[in-house]
């Protein structure tokens, strides 16, 4: 297949780019869904597998840590064994591990299978992005990134909804078993539509990989376990911190001095790529933090059932899908930096609206703010992905896409850890502050319940419940304001990005006389 008239030639020419894109998106959505779909099923898993609540969280932690460690190796594996082989093996391994998770009979089995699932799944997202960049001419990359972004952005949003529906309607095991038909379809499509490419002999820098794996793995364990063990009050967290700092330091020194390092630091000479990594880290902070906060807010504080929670959060995904459709067409016509600024503004506006949430509100503020936020994030992600890779040499794409995914995931881990810690601490602080003002001799208390506060334990318990409720809502509002500050902090980075050069129009031969 040759490039269409007026378009540059893609790096990888395929016979059926539409079918290949659909196949790649199936694999991407399957992997991204599994980062959040299991969250709502954890209590059911704990009862079925005989695990305590603090033990069952390893079902999530094991997957996240394994995926983080395996993500950086995507570039080397792809060069060494080829796109088609790596993609096919990754899909087959991920699908098989999903089946094993669905039939696991104990917590140790589940954790082992989740580790395997995370290792195979880590390859799928960066490899999918690399293939989509390669099979599209430069003029079509914006639209291609809109399609890719739909899977990346919508997957985590619909994950809790789908997981809750499967758990309540069928069984928690279907959270994993649903991957089987999707994985088989994706595997068939990759084998049929993705051609084999030339292999590249590239030495594997085992020491560099080991240091990066230790650093990333320890950092993820620190983020996931911190709140559970009270952060730096625990020797466990200090151990993770030491391993992470040591690993990153040795890795950087090694890559600067080695002749053939695991990551060629020349990749960071591209300003757009370096700024894009910083930007996607901040997007990871805001996107996944909001997704982590809303379900407990809606279910525990406002009393929404799981299904209702999913319905109320669905407009966020609708907004993202709408923006993907629009921005895919705009990114080739307008300066991507303007689109990113517009998206950040929409996201900041939605977070400002969320900072006005209260106990007595109806569903309308949640739905409207979610729709606006989803729309804004779509306008950020697509042009950001386009600009980040616009000026980068195609030879770096394997490593670049894996680093892009890794930084986004680390950002989400940091964001979730920050908001969960702030939430827990602020609930305690707010409760103490509010309760200190509700003494038996306080005029407002005596006016509301004269003579009952000190004599009626039922009234005391009821007031304490109201105080706890208000303290939690204030803590959620504080977190939304914190995410608003993160979003505003991303604005200056836009000015460090370079707009990609527009392709010159195809020359038309002069008419013959």
Q: What is the pLDDT of residue 342?
A: 92
Q: Between these two residues, 94 and 24, which has the higher pLDDT value?
A: 94
Q: Region 106-122: what's the mean pLDDT?
A: 90
Do residues 72 and 209 make contact, with C-beta atoms less than 8 angstroms apart?
yes
Q: What is the mean pLDDT of the chain?
A: 80
Which range has the worst mean pLDDT, 88-97, 313-322, 461-470? 461-470
**What's the average model confidence in pLDDT over 26-53?**
77
User: What pLDDT is recorded for position 501?
Assistant: 64
Angle between helices 17-33 and 83-102 (to 10 degrees): 40
Instruction: Express each pLDDT in 73-102 by its tens digit.
Output: 888 888 888 888 899 999 999 999 999 998
CB 370 within 8 A of CB 160: no
Do 335 and 416 fall into the same domain? yes
Q: Distance from first CA to last CA of the chain, Å, rounded?
A: 32
Asked if the structure places residue 245 within a domain, the reply is yes
Mean pLDDT value across residues 257-278: 83
On whether both 299 and 411 belong to a single domain, the answer is yes
What is the band of 511 on the pLDDT scale with cuts at 50, 70, 90? very low
39: DSSP letter: G
CA dist 389 and 12 (Å) reads: 16
118 shares its domain with 156: yes
Structural domains of the chain, count? 4
Is 27's pLDDT higher than 80?
A: yes
Q: In Å, what is the CA distance from 114 to each residue of 61, 96, 98, 101, 288?
A: 9, 11, 8, 7, 21
Instruction: Tell me what pLDDT residue 180 has.
Output: 92
Same domain, 289 and 399: yes
Is residue 157's pLDDT more than 80?
A: no
Contacts of 126 (CB under 8 A, 6+ apart): 71, 74, 75, 398, 401, 402, 404, 405
In this prediction, residue 500 carries a pLDDT of 66
The Cα–Cα gap between 183 and 87 comes to 11
SS3 per-residue string spanning 427-448: HHHHHHHHHHCCCCCCHHHHHH
> Where does the pLDDT of residue 454 fall: very low under 50, low under 70, confident under 90, or very high at 90 and above?
low
What pLDDT is recorded for position 490? 84
pLDDT at position 11 is 65
CA dihedral 158, 164, 166, 172 (to 10 degrees): 120
Residues 325, 365 share a domain: yes
The tokens 């459709």 sit on which residue?
325
Q: Which of 68, 83, 116 is nearest to 200 (CA)?
A: 83
Domain match, 225 and 146 both? no
Looking at 78-82, 154-158, 493-497, which range is the least confident one? 154-158
pLDDT, average across residues 124-153: 77
Q: What is the pLDDT of residue 94?
A: 94
CB 193 within 8 A of CB 57: no
Q: Is the pLDDT of residue 503 over 50?
A: no
Q: In whole angstroms, what is the distance from residue 303 CA to residue 88 CA? A: 44
144 part of a folded domain: yes
H-type alpha helices, 103-173: 107-135, 141-169
In a domain, 513, yes or no: no
**Same-domain status, 388 and 448:** no
- Asked if the model's pLDDT at residue 502 lies above 60, the reply is no
Residue 339 shares a structural domain with residue 416: yes
Are residues 353 and 245 both part of a single domain? no
Contact 323, 377 (CB under 8 A): yes
Tokens standing for residue 302:
């406002």
Confidence of residue 352 (pLDDT cuts 50, 70, 90): very high
Instruction: Taking residues 224-236, report their average pLDDT.
Output: 82
5 or 25, which is more confident?
Answer: 25
Q: Which domain holds residue 442?
A: 427-473
Whole-number percent of the chain with pLDDT over 70: 86
Q: What is the largest CA-CA distance in the chain?
A: 107
HSE-CB at 332 with a 13 A cutoff on CA atoms is 16
Cα distance between residue 337 and residue 340, in whole Å: 5
Task: Kindly state the average pLDDT of the residues 4-22.
Answer: 71
pLDDT in tens, 408-418: 878 877 887 78
Q: Which of 200, 215, 248 is the last residue of a domain?
A: 200
pLDDT for position 286: 78
Q: Among 235, 261, 287, give the residue marking a domain's end.
A: 261
Angstrom distances, CA of residue 254 to CA of 72, 212, 246, 248, 264: 16, 10, 12, 10, 11
Q: Is the dihedral of CA 12, 14, 19, 23 positive or negative?
A: negative
Helices and strands, number each (H, E), in the chain: 20, 0
Task: Mean pLDDT check: name the lowest of 53-57, 140-144, 188-192, 244-248.
Answer: 53-57
Contacts of 443 (CB under 8 A, 6+ apart): none
Number of Cβ atoms within 10 Å of the Cβ of 43: 12
Q: How large is the average pLDDT for residues 14-38?
A: 81
Residue 509 in domain: no
CB burial of 484-513 (b: ≥16 within 10 Å; e: otherwise) equals bebbeebeebbeebeebeeeeeeeeeeeee
Which pLDDT score, from 0 to 100, does residue 245 have? 94
Question: How large is the C-alpha radius of gyration of the chain?
Answer: 25
Average pLDDT over residues 3-28: 74
Residue 512: predicted pLDDT? 39
Do residue 398 and residue 298 come from a single domain?
yes
- Residue pair 345/397 in contact by the 8 Å Cβ criterion: no
Q: What was the pLDDT predicted at 507?
A: 39
On whether both 239 and 133 belong to a single domain, the answer is: no
Structural contact between residues 35 and 71, judged by C-beta atoms closer than 8 angstroms: no
- CATH number of the domain to which 359 belongs: 1.20.1250.20
Please indicate, yes or no, if residue 445 is contained in any of the structural domains: yes
**What band does 188 get if pLDDT is binned at 50, 70 and 90?**
very high
214 in the same domain as 121: no
Residue 6 located in a structural domain: no
* More confident site: 6 or 312: 312
Orientation of helix 306-330 relative to helix 336-354, angle to 10°: 160
Q: Is the model's pLDDT at 31 over the cut of 70?
A: yes
Question: Does residue 3 sit within a domain?
Answer: no
Kindly state whether residue 511 falls inside one of the protein's structural domains: no
Confidence of residue 455 (pLDDT cuts 50, 70, 90): low
What sign has the CA pseudo-torsion 483, 489, 490, 491?
positive
Supply the angle between the helices 74-81 and 107-135 in degrees, to the nearest 10: 70
- Nearest CA-CA partner of 391 in 275, 284, 283, 506: 275
Other C-beta atoms within 10 Å of 396: how many?
Answer: 18
- Each residue of 382-391: pLDDT tens digit? 888 778 887 7
Would you tell me how many other CB atoms lie within 10 Å of the CB of residue 457? 9
For residues 469, 475, 479, 482, the Cα torsion angle rounded to the nearest 10 degrees is: 150
Lowest mean pLDDT among 163-177, 430-444, 481-495: 430-444
Tell me: pLDDT of 381 over 60: yes
Report which of 381, 304, 310 is spatially closest to residue 343, judged by C-alpha positions: 381
Contacts of 502 (CB under 8 A, 6+ apart): none
Q: In percent, how much of the chain has pLDDT > 90?
A: 11
Listed ranges 253-262, 311-320, 351-360; the one with the highest mean pLDDT:
351-360
């Amino acid at each position: 297949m040759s490039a269409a008239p007026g378009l540059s030639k893609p790096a990888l020419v395929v016979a059926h780019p539409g079918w290949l894109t659909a196949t790649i998106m199936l694999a991407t959505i399957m992997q991204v869904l599994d980062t959040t779909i299991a969250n709502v099923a954890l209590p059911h898993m704990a009862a079925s597998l005989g695990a305590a609540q603090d033990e069952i969280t390893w079902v999530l932690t094991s997957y996240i840590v394994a995926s983080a460690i395996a993500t950086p190796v995507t570039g080397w594996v792809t060069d060494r064994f080829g796109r088609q082989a790596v993609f096919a093996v990754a899909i087959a391994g991920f699908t098989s591990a999903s089946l094993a998770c669905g039939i696991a009979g104990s917590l140790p089995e589940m954790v082992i299978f989740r580790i395997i699932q995370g290792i195979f799944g880590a390859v799928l997202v960066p490899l999918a992005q690399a293939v989509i960049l390669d099979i599209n001419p430069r003029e079509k990359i914006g639209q291609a990134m809109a399609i890719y972004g739909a899977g990346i952005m919508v997957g985590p949003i619909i994950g809790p909804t789908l997981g809750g529906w499967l758990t309540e309607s069928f069984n928690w095991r279907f959270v994993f078993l649903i991957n089987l038909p999707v994985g088989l379809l994706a595997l068939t499509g990759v084998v049929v539509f993705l051609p084999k490419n030339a292999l590249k002999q590239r030495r594997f820098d085992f020491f560099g990989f080991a240091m990066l794996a230790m650093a990333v793995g320890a950092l993820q364990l620190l983020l996931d376990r911190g709140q559970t063990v009270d952060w730096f009050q625990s020797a466990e967290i200090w151990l993770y911190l030491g391993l992470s700092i040591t690993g990153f330091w040795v890795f950087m020194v090694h890559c600067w001095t080695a002749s053939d390092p695991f990551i060629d630091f020349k990749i960071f000479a591209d300003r757009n790529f370096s700024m894009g990594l910083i930007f996607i880290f901040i997007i990871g902070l805001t996107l996944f933090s909001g997704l982590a906060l809303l379900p407990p807010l809606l279910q525990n504080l406002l009393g929404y059932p799981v299904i209702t929670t999913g319905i109320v959060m669905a407009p966020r995904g609708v907004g993202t899908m709408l923006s993907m459709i629009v921005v895919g067409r705009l990114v080739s016509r307008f300066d991507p930096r303007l689109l990113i600024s517009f998206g950040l503004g929409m996201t900041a506006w939605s977070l400002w609206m969320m900072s006005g949430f209260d106990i007595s509100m109806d569903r309308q503020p949640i739905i409207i703010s979610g729709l606006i936020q989803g729309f804004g994030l779509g306008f950020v992600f697509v042009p950001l992905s386009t600009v980040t890779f616009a000026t980068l040499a195609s030879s770096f794409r394997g490593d670049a896409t894996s680093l892009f995914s890794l930084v986004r995931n680390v950002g989400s881990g940091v964001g979730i850890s920050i908001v969960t810690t702030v939430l827990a601490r602020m609930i305690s602080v707010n409760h103490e502050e509010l309760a200190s003002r509700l003494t038996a001799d306080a005029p407002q208390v005596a006016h509301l319940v004269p003579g009952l506060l000190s004599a009626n334990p039922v009234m005391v318990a009821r007031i304490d419940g109201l105080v706890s409720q208000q303290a939690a809502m204030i803590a959620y509002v504080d977190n939304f304001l914190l995410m608003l500050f993160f979003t505003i902090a991303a604005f200056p980075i836009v000015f460090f990005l370079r707009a990609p050069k527009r392709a010159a129009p195809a020359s038309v031969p002069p008419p013959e006389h």
